[in-house]
Amino acid sequence: EDKVVQSPLSLVVHEGDTVTLNCSYEVTNFRSLLWYKQEKKAPTFLFMLTSSGIEKKSGRLSSILDKKELFSILNITATQTGDSAVYLCAVPHGSSNTGKLIFGQGTTLQVKP
């Protein structure tokens, strides 16, 4: 059965800290891994990773995929209170390209001033 597991489930840090969020997966026919940020309501897309070892970067956020060890990490440097959110990891699942995603439980990040 395909599954995605995120850790930690919750995290509290202070502004300026660096955090690392983890996402491990077990899925047949791996195609890609996606990260989303969910603030209050709608998740917004952050990154899609398909190749192992290639870092994707956007400002203070970066992510990398390890297809051998079946995990991805999301790093946030110099955290700000606006980074407080639930971070979701997802992978496509199913034997064919259907757009179906399976999501992890999410990591709730709280950044204190």
Rule CB under 8 A: which residues touch other proteins?
A: 4, 6, 9, 31-32, 34, 36, 41-45, 48, 88, 90, 92, 97-106
Least spacing, CB of residue 58 vs other proteins, in Å: 14
CB closer to other proteins out of 59 and 99? 99
Please give the Cα distance from 43 to 36 (Å, whole number).
Answer: 6
CB closer to other proteins out of 70 and 102? 102
CB closer to other proteins out of 1 and 69? 1
Least spacing, CB of residue 71 vs other proteins, in Å: 16
Closest CA to 97 of 25, 30, 48: 30
Please give the Cα distance from 67 to 78 (Å, whole number).
Answer: 27
Please give the Cα distance from 29 to 86 (Å, whole number).
Answer: 27
Least spacing, CB of residue 38 vs other proteins, in Å: 8
Please give the Cα distance from 98 to 19 (Å, whole number).
Answer: 33
Please give the Cα distance from 84 to 91 (Å, whole number).
Answer: 23
Least spacing, CB of residue 78 vs other proteins, in Å: 26
CB closer to other proteins out of 65 and 106? 106
Residue 49 in tokens? 């990773």
